[in-house]
Structure 1
Amino acid sequence: MREFQAYPTQKASNEIIFRFKDEESANQFLSTFQLFKQTLVEIQVRDDREISAKQRRFIYALFKDISNWTGYDPEIIKQGFKFDFERLKDIDEISLSNVEKSVAANFLTYLLDFVADHNVPLSFRPLDALEPEDVAHWEYRALIEGFDVLDGSRPVELAHGEHAVGMGRDRDKISNIGNTVFSLSHTHHMELHKIGLNAFKAKYHINGVRVTPEIIKELESRGRRFGGKGE
């Protein structure tokens, strides 16, 4: 497979015009395209942004927390997780000094999945480490694994969003399917009720998890229940 670099310059409906760096490159692309009689070109978008200082700081904080939990030296933890991540993603060796920002985000999520799977105590709030598009995954893991989505602590309570239980409502007559829920410690649960749903979501930059029958089934398989009909 040959790779070419080009930049999108103009859009018209569902058509996009790409500009190559010079005419020779464009001609090479066309000749390759015609040589193999292709009718489809695969386009990959490269992330030229480098890892942020914030991402790097949290990655190394995770190395330290996992080190404290396992008893292994942080450098051993670093090399081991890097190697496993590179093998899993089938990528070349990454450098935490200049790796692409999107790859760093995936690596953070990979490390946090390990933390969620093994209940590793953390010294920081995971939500502070994540890009907005990765927050939903962490919220889901918190709900399924049963830890506080904000600080990773246990035990937790399932806090309801739009259709709150309480104030005379019978928990056993409420279906949670389609409802938004949060996995929170008692303290954070009480804060949600005190400041209100919208203020709580804005303060912590979370949206909650929309409950599906599959989520209820998964929770039940782990011995956890919402309480309510249809579960």
Structure 2
Amino acid sequence: MFGRLTAISGNQITVQLDNELNHYKLAKWANGRRPVVEIKVEDGRLVSPDQRKKIFAMLRDMAIFTGYDVRDMEQWMKYYYYAQTGSEAFSMADCSTDTANKFLTFILDFCFANDIPFKTKTWDQIPTDYHLAVQCLRYRKCVICGQPHSDIDHFTPVGRRNRALVDHRKLYFECLCRKHHTERHQLGAKSFIEKYHIKPVRLSEDDLIALHIMTRKRMDEIDEGMI
């Protein structure tokens, strides 16, 4: 469980939980004893409560999708992470901020590659950074809501130009579902990205080719000044 400290009075504190308390689970974990809780305050060096919250939210969605217990899901993903990256074993209780970020990104990439869906609430917690924006374009998922089979949208206007003749390496893109794509045109590009705090990105040449936006031949023609 995660929350924010809202008040301190002597040796008593008040915590506002991020989610509604599940009394059944609490009683099960306590096993008839008086529940004991641990308070950890973010110090900027170790994994933050916000990072743990995001990671465990993603692991819960993965567990629901696969049928695993969330704790088994955590251990399975850690072992897979160790094998793939050569990382040393770590604990989500006291690992570094950098390790937590790398593990979160690893989980995110795994879910994209295996088409594991996130609940809307979980998706809203994932940082909308460059890596997420690129993965959404690669896997055609809306960067705002995670909806699959979404549109690759030119943030940089192409206008009436023949798209086959445009050098897309210089343009910025975002992946949007039909609903958000329509809203983007209604609000205008600037107001839209300010509302959702997203950052359109440039795509690598390999991504442009894989997404059938450009061909290597067209890139070579542009570079050689043939068009």
| TM band (smaller chain) | 0.5 to 0.7
**Superposed displacement of residue 148, structure 1:** 1.0
1:1-231 counterparts in 2 under 5 A?
49-123=45-119, 124=121, 126=123, 128-130=125-127, 135-165=129-159, 171-172=163-164, 174-220=166-212, 225=213, 230=218
Alpha-carbon spacing, 1:164–1:191, altered in 2? closer, same or farther (3 Å): farther
The alignment of Structure 1 onto Structure 2 pairs a total of residues equal to: 175
**Superposed displacement of residue 162, structure 1:** 1.9
**Superposed displacement of residue 55, structure 1:** 1.3
The separation in 1 between residues aligned to 2:214 and 2:51, in whole angstroms, is: 35
Would the aligned equivalents of 1:158 and 1:226 in 2 still touch at CA under 8 Å?
A: no
Q: Deviations over 1:9-58 (max 9, x none)?
A: xxxxxxxxxxxxxxxxxxxxxxxxxxxxxxxxxxxxxx961212221111
Query: Which residue of 2 is the match for residue 15 of structure 1?
Result: none
Partner of 2:169: helix, strand, or coil? coil
AA aligned to 1:177 is: R
Would the aligned equivalents of 1:125 and 1:151 in 2 still touch at CA under 8 Å?
A: no
TM-score relative to the length of structure 2: 0.67
The separation in 1 between residues aligned to 2:157 and 2:190, in whole angstroms, is: 13
Would the aligned equivalents of 1:125 and 1:150 in 2 still touch at CA under 8 Å?
A: no
Alpha-carbon spacing, 1:230–1:186, altered in 2? closer, same or farther (3 Å): farther
Alpha-carbon spacing, 1:127–1:226, altered in 2? closer, same or farther (3 Å): farther
Bigger Rg, which one: 1
Would the aligned equivalents of 1:139 and 1:209 in 2 still touch at CA under 8 Å?
A: yes
Q: Deviations over 1:54-91 (max 9, x none)?
A: 21111111111111211122111110111222333333
Alpha-carbon spacing, 1:164–1:92, altered in 2? closer, same or farther (3 Å): same
Partner of 1:182: helix, strand, or coil? strand
AA aligned to 2:131 is: H
What is the root-mean-square deviation in Å for CA atoms of aligned residues? 2.6
Partner of 1:209: helix, strand, or coil? coil
% identical aligned pairs: 26
Farther-moved stretch of structure 1 (110-119 vs 85-94)? 85-94
Alpha-carbon spacing, 1:104–1:182, altered in 2? closer, same or farther (3 Å): same
Q: Deviations over 1:130-179 (max 9, x none)?
A: 3x7xx1111111111111112211121111112145xx565455443311
The separation in 1 between residues aligned to 2:56 and 2:150, in whole angstroms, is: 27
Would the aligned equivalents of 2:134 and 2:203 in 1 still touch at CA under 8 Å?
A: no
Give ranges in structure 2 of 5+ residues lacking alignment.
Answer: 1-42, 220-227
The separation in 2 between residues aligned to 1:102 and 1:204, in whole angstroms, is: 26
